[in-house]
Amino acid sequence: MGFVNWFKRHLVVLAGLVTLGYLLLPNIVVTVFSFNKPKGRFNYEWQQFSLDAWKDPCGVADMCGSLSVSLQIAVWATIGATVLGTMIAFALVRYRFRARGAVNSLIFLPMAMPEVVMAASLLTLFLNMGAQLGFWTILIAHIMFCLSFVVTAVKARVMSMDPRLEQAAQDLYAGPLQTFLRVTLPIAAPGIAAGALLAFALSFDDFIITNFNAGSTVTFPMFVWGSAQRGTPVQINVIGTTMFVLAVLFVLLSMAVGNRRNRRKA
Amino acid sequence: MTTDNSGDVRLSGIGKTYGSFTAVHPLDLTVPQGSFFALLGASGCGKTTTLRMIAGLEEPSSGTVHLGDQDVTRLPPYKRPVNTVFQSYALFPHLDIFENVAFGLRRRGIKSVKKQVEDMLDLVQLGEQARKKPHQLSGGQQQRVAVARALINHPKVLLLDEPLGALDLKLRRQMQLELKRIQTEVGITFIHVTHDQEEAMTMADTVAVMNAGRVEQLGSPTDLYENPQTTFVANFLGTSNLIEAEVDSRSGDRISLKAGGGKLTLPEARCSASATAGGKILVGVRPEKISLTHADDAGDIPEGRNRISGRIADSSFIGVSTQYVVDSPVCPEFEVYAQNIDRDPRLVPGAEVVLHWNPAHTFGLDAAQDIDAGVETVQPEEGVAA
């Protein structure tokens, strides 16, 4: 009986732990196998512990090149989508203009559309325009599909913002630029940051749209896809683990900063 | 400082329309330097719009705004020597109390702000809270931060937009006195917008009563209360008993009136309407000026007092006073507030009574207005922001 009661009382915690395990198990496997020393070309069976891959992460031909391409595209796509998306979000919340409702719904379209369809249409568009497929076409495509997510994230934040705060700033001798930099931007920052993070993750990760519009350029997801058919070097796991650890560190860091600011929304 | 008029606010023909809706009819208003001025009215009467036009947050459709001799009508808010305490305080949530208060100084490029900010926080008794964020403070403390943040800039004029609306009754009373103290201390012109007549009367030297985009009457609280010029003012500020009466005759400075079967006397000086024999006017008297005597003792009432007879319909005991509602032929719900000094046990509902008061406490109004104007808002719901 004691056990049943204990189980009842801790059911929520147990369910939470099981779900967390379900979410993290793949990451653990990736991490463990980054220390493997496989026989043959495929890293699918545990053989023995080794630090070889960690000592030489760029030891596989072309892999670090593709990683660098992916990172560059992700950074530029994030910047482009965040700047444009923030401006669109402010326009949609703050101003009343013709076709505002239509723009509001059109913004969501890229999120709802199957990626494969969008990829194929984009390719058609680029080919018809005679554009050279490569870095730039990938970047344009990424900015395009990241925009909707940034707009959604920033809009939610701007909508909950009291317009009187900006009036108060103006009343206290802040001109339009100062008002924007000192009041509007800092208050909207959490929304903008969330949008930017989302854009970075989406862009770095994207395979389908990229694959259609890449021409001869190879991004990291494309490299992994390609090598999965020929053999998976352990270095892929090393990069995967590094990305995972960096993401966790980033989240922890932002939580620490948030706590230090005493959670302004409490 | 006393001869300086740079803190005068002069509104000339200032008005605001939104499409076909007129929020503020063109009005002229002068608020002298160093005074505590209140704009009083129900929600939607145009008082906040008027305030925002002075702040520069709203562009007037007509007229000009002068501060002292300077025309500021076209100046943006950040170039006007005017600061506002907003209704919801509008404190910057991402800045601590110190930085909120320092905001205006820093924007004007003042480098050493520490001493000034600390002094100002001491003035509003928040020295200990400097490093807290706005949401960590109580409503009353946030309100004081908003006042400090505005005052530290030594504005020519401080505008207060229903600054006490969000506070509970007790705290509001306390803050009324606090604001009045600060105003006396710093000597800056305060313009205060409120829908609470008691607040306006407690704090302000001069009150402008606004109704439907117009200033109905302007004067000191006593003047407005004792000599209302319109039924709106008579009913909005406190309670008035209004009786329709016919002018009988005039002799010297007294006007004799007929109301119901009885006669009333009204000093000419207190009649804002033109009283010609045979014409109608509205006669008003405040509930606390009236004495109540049981009909059996009617003979003891001194000569020369205005009297009306009736029957007590209702009475409620409030502690310091008793409020009676008397049903009389001239006015179905005559209100009387009697101090509980010597309570006559015969004064219970159903008793026949005589109401009487000194004629000097009677005022006369133009009969061609709505007798119930402003009546609905006599008891504004406590704590509800306009």
B153 contacts in chain A (CB < 8 Å): 172-173
**For residue B3, pLDDT beyond 80:** no
Check whether residue A210 and residue A97 sit in a common domain. yes
pLDDT at B146: 93
A193 in reach of chain B (CB within 8 A): no
**Amino acid present at B116:** Q
Nearest C-alpha neighbor of A195 from the set A89, A82, A112, A94: A82
pLDDT mean over B57-64: 93
Dist CA B82 CA A172 (whole Å): 9
CA-based nearest residue in chain A for residue B158:
A171
Lowest mean pLDDT segment, chosen from A18-22, A62-66, A79-83: A62-66
Scanning the structure block, which residue is given the tokens 């009204």? B266
In a domain, A165, yes or no: yes
**For residue B2, pLDDT beyond 50:** no
In a domain, A84, yes or no: yes
CA-based nearest residue in chain A for residue B102:
A172
Nearest C-alpha neighbor of A186 from the set A161, A210, A208: A161
Q: What is the DSSP letter of B382?
A: T
Cα-Cα-Cα-Cα dihedral sign, residues A113, A114, A118, A120: negative
Please give the share of chain A, as a percent, with pLDDT higher than 70.
Answer: 97
Distances (CA, A) of B160 to B39, B93, B138, B233: 10, 20, 19, 22
pLDDT mean over A54-66: 86
Check whether residue A243 and residue A208 sit in a common domain. no
**Beta strands B254-259; B82-85: pairing state:** unpaired
Check whether residue A96 and residue A211 sit in a common domain. yes
Dist CA B84 CA B42 (whole Å): 20
Specify burial of residue A96 (Cβ count, 10 A radius: 0-12, 13-18, 19+): exposed
Domain ranges of chain B: 9-226, 240-366
**For residue A168, pLDDT beyond 70:** yes
CA-based nearest residue in chain B for residue A178:
B107
- Is B57 in contact with A171 (Cβ distance < 8 A)? yes
B94 contacts in chain A (CB < 8 Å): 186-187, 264
Check whether residue A168 and residue A211 sit in a common domain. yes
pLDDT-derived band at B44, boundaries 50, 70, 90? confident
Check whether residue A115 and residue A77 sit in a common domain. yes
pLDDT-derived band at A3, boundaries 50, 70, 90? confident
B228-282 pLDDT per residue, tens? 999 999 999 888 999 889 888 888 788 888 887 788 899 888 888 877 778 888 9
First CA to last CA across chain A, in angstroms? Answer: 41
pLDDT at B382: 45
- Is A169 in contact with B92 (Cβ distance < 8 A)? yes
Cα-Cα-Cα-Cα dihedral sign, residues A48, A52, A55, A56: negative
Nearest C-alpha neighbor of B163 from the set B180, B181, B176: B176
A251 in reach of chain B (CB within 8 A): no
In a domain, A117, yes or no: yes
Check whether residue A162 and residue A208 sit in a common domain. yes
0.80 exceeded by the pTM? no
Check whether residue A218 and residue A246 sit in a common domain. no
- A86: domain CATH number is 1.10.3720.10
pLDDT at B377: 46
Check whether residue A257 and residue A198 sit in a common domain. no
The H or E element spanning position B322 is strand B321-327
**For residue A109, pLDDT beyond 90:** no
HSE-up of residue B104 (Cα within 13 Å, Cβ side): 30
Beta strands in chain A (DSSP E): none
B122-176 pLDDT per residue, tens? 888 888 889 999 999 988 899 889 999 998 998 999 999 988 887 888 888 888 8
C-alpha distance from B85 to closest chain A C-alpha (Å) = 8
**For residue B386, pLDDT beyond 60:** no
Backbone angles phi, psi at A42, to 5 degrees: -105, 135
C-alpha distance from A11 to closest chain B C-alpha (Å) = 35
Scanning the structure block, which residue is given the tokens 């801790």? A10
In a domain, A119, yes or no: yes
For the domain B9-226, what is the CATH code?
3.40.50.300
- Is B94 in contact with A264 (Cβ distance < 8 A)? yes
- Is B78 in contact with A183 (Cβ distance < 8 A)? no
- Specify the number of domains making up chain A: 2
pLDDT mean over B30-39: 92
pLDDT at B385: 41
**For residue A265, pLDDT beyond 50:** no
B328-342 pLDDT per residue, tens? 888 888 999 998 888
Check whether residue A158 and residue A255 sit in a common domain. no
In a domain, A172, yes or no: yes
Query: Two tokens at B295?
Result: 């009909």
pLDDT-derived band at B379, boundaries 50, 70, 90? very low
Dist CA B120 CA B197 (whole Å): 29
C-alpha distance from B161 to closest chain A C-alpha (Å) = 12
C-alpha distance from B331 to closest chain A C-alpha (Å) = 47
Scanning the structure block, which residue is given the tokens 């329309």? B17
Fold: same for B9-226 and B240-366: no
- Is B83 in contact with A171 (Cβ distance < 8 A)? yes
Complex prediction ipTM: 0.78
Interface probe with A: pick from B51, B78, B151, B156, most Cβ of A within 10 Å: B78
CA-based nearest residue in chain B for residue A163:
B90
Domain span holding position A247: 233-266
Check whether residue A240 and residue A176 sit in a common domain. no
Q: What is the DSSP letter of A36?
A: B
A172 in reach of chain B (CB within 8 A): yes
Domain B240-366 has CATH 3.40.50.670: no
